[in-house]
């Protein structure tokens, strides 16, 4: 297939929508672990019952049912909000229709959350604000029984067959069933694309310092944000252009398209069947006359051959920390689920800085606390998701820099004149105490606080 046809298709999907942006909207997605406080596996029948109660209370309409007829996603016809289960019925997600005011999102989130927890507590269950389910070892960590998640589970579980790759694979292919994220989508204009991607890529080490909240308790308590490892050292990370950070400085839209073209595709659909295959770089995918993959026939996996089609671009799924979407938005997705009462601090932080992206770019390019010391942004992120700061970083200087960045976000929010700057209060507290949710959780645990009490504390509104 002619390369220009592929590039044009990518341009139309990811770039063209950014030319139509005249107003600035916000989209928020919050995943939360469901915890059985009795230390047993989450009973999915209870989850389905709570889902039904939620739909009855808020008038959401089902639009996704699994192979057993159970609802895994439903949408509000009133505002576009969505309740869904991400990968597993152990992980509940609330996504919000686009808004201009963060308080509108926060108010609905708290209303939904309080109702859900009132229903869950009847069974001694709770939702909580942690990036890894603290009781994951008790759960049935299995995917939602439908084509997409079954395919994804199969893909992640195939890591053992890649014996000749120069990479380490972790042994948690089911991580999607017990890890929870918090994501924000912001409208972005065409002219700002390279600047936004470059600037927010440099910001990732600071975000690790502020938002880390995923710890593998009793297994690896030195890594405060194991989300990075989950994706990078899985089959998603076979091509590093599919995951993590951009270790690249973009100077044009054309270079962004080239980067997307260098990412890999690993699934598609034919005849309503998901097909999984070894990851293939997009630019190579369309050069192949036939591709061999696997699909589930209802009982077992079977081999299938198929011919690539341009429409398969719709199945290109990357997991970059900063992703362009077909909606003309930038999605920021490197953050863990936060303690529930602080859930909006992520969106507020990014929203304020988007309004000050030029100043943020200047601040980070001239920084000497983190940068210009022999480490790039990707390496610094890996260092700052650890429990201890590396010796070459001065803690006083680092937290001074972090406060300057929060101050910049504060100013950006003040200019919106919606009082949203108050949502940054948890971040100022974290700088003052030199902590983040992961560190705080470990300090509580190591001081003898019962894990269940921590779970409930992180679930407070």
The pLDDT value given to residue 2: 86
- C-alpha 323/C-alpha 335 separation (Å) is 13
278, containing H or E segment: strand 273-281
221, containing H or E segment: none
The two structure tokens encoding residue 238? 């076979």
Report domain 3-261+326-458's class. alpha beta
Q: From residue 326, how far is each of 13, 73, 184, 187, 331 by CA, in Å?
A: 5, 20, 15, 11, 11
Q: Which pLDDT tens digits describe the chain residue by residue (461 residues)?
A: 788 999 999 999 999 999 987 778 999 999 999 999 999 999 999 999 999 999 999 999 999 999 999 999 999 999 999 999 999 999 999 999 999 999 999 999 999 999 999 999 999 999 999 999 999 999 999 999 999 999 999 999 999 999 888 899 999 999 999 999 999 999 999 999 999 999 999 999 999 999 999 999 999 999 999 999 999 999 999 999 999 999 889 999 999 999 999 999 999 999 999 999 999 999 899 999 999 999 999 999 999 999 999 999 999 999 999 999 999 999 999 999 999 999 999 999 999 999 999 999 999 999 999 999 999 999 999 999 999 999 999 999 999 999 999 999 999 999 999 999 999 999 999 999 999 999 999 999 999 999 999 999 999 99
Q: Which of 329, 326, 320, 322 is nearest to 189 (CA)?
A: 329
- The answer to pTM > 0.75 is yes
CB 176, CB 156: distance < 8 Å: yes
125, containing H or E segment: strand 125-127
Q: Angle between the 193-211 and 377-384 helix axes, to the nearest 10 degrees?
A: 20
Tokens 């405060």 correspond to: 224
Q: From residue 368, how far is each of 95, 202, 327, 358 by CA, in Å?
A: 38, 13, 36, 18
The two structure tokens encoding residue 155? 């893909």
Q: From residue 291, how far is each of 274, 307, 386 by CA, in Å?
A: 14, 6, 41
């Amino acid at each position: 297939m002619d390369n220009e046809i592929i590039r044009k298709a990518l341009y139309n999907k990811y770039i063209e929508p950014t030319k139509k942006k005249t107003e600035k909207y916000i989209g928020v997605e919050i995943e939360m672990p469901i915890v059985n406080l009795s230390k047993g596996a989450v009973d999915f029948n209870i989850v389905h019952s709570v889902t039904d109660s939620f739909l009855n209370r808020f008038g959401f309409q089902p639009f996704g049912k699994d192979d057993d007829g159970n609802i895994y996603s439903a949408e509000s016809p009133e505002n576009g909000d969505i309740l869904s289960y991400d990968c597993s019925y152990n992980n509940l997600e609330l996504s919000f229709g686009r808004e201009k005011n963060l308080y509108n999102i926060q108010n609905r989130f708290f209303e939904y959350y309080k109702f859900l927890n009132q229903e869950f507590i009847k069974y001694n269950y709770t939702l909580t604000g942690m990036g890894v389910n603290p009781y994951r070892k008790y759960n049935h960590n299995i995917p939602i029984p439908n084509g997409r998640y079954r395919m994804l589970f199969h893909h992640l579980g195939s890591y053992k067959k890649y014996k000749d790759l120069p990479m380490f694979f972790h042994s948690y292919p089911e991580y999607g069933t017990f890890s929870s994220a918090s994501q924000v989508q912001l409208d972005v204009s065409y002219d700002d694309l390279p600047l936004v991607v470059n600037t927010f890529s440099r910001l990732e080490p600071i975000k690790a310092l502020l938002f880390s909240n995923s710890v593998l308790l009793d297994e690896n308590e030195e890594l405060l944000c194991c989300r990075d490892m989950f994706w990078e050292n899985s089959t998603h990370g076979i091509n590093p252009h599919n995951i993590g950070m951009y270790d690249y400085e973009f100077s044009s839209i054309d270079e962004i398209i080239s980067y997307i073209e260098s990412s890999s595709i690993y699934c598609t659909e034919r005849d309503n069947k998901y097909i999984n295959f070894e990851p293939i770089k997009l630019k190579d995918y369309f050069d192949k006359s036939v591709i061999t993959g696997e699909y589930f026939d209802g009982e077992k996996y079977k081999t299938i051959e198929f011919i690539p089609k341009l429409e398969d671009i719709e199945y290109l799924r990357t997991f970059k920390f900063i992703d362009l979407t077909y909606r003309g938005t930038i999605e920021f997705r490197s953050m863990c689920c936060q303690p529930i009462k602080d859930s909006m601090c992520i969106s507020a932080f990014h929203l304020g800085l988007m309004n000050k992206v030029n100043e943020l770019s200047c601040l980070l390019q001239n920084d000497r606390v983190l940068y210009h010391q022999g480490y790039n942004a990707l390496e610094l992120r890996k260092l700052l998701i650890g429990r201890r700061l590396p010796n070459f970083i001065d803690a006083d200087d680092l937290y001074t820099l972090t406060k300057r960045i929060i101050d910049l976000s504060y100013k950006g929010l003040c200019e919106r004149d919606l009082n949203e700057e108050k949502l940054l209060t948890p971040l100022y507290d974290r700088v003052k105490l030199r902590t983040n949710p992961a560190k705080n959780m470990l300090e509580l645990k190591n001081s003898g606080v019962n894990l269940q009490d921590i779970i409930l504390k992180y679930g407070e509104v």
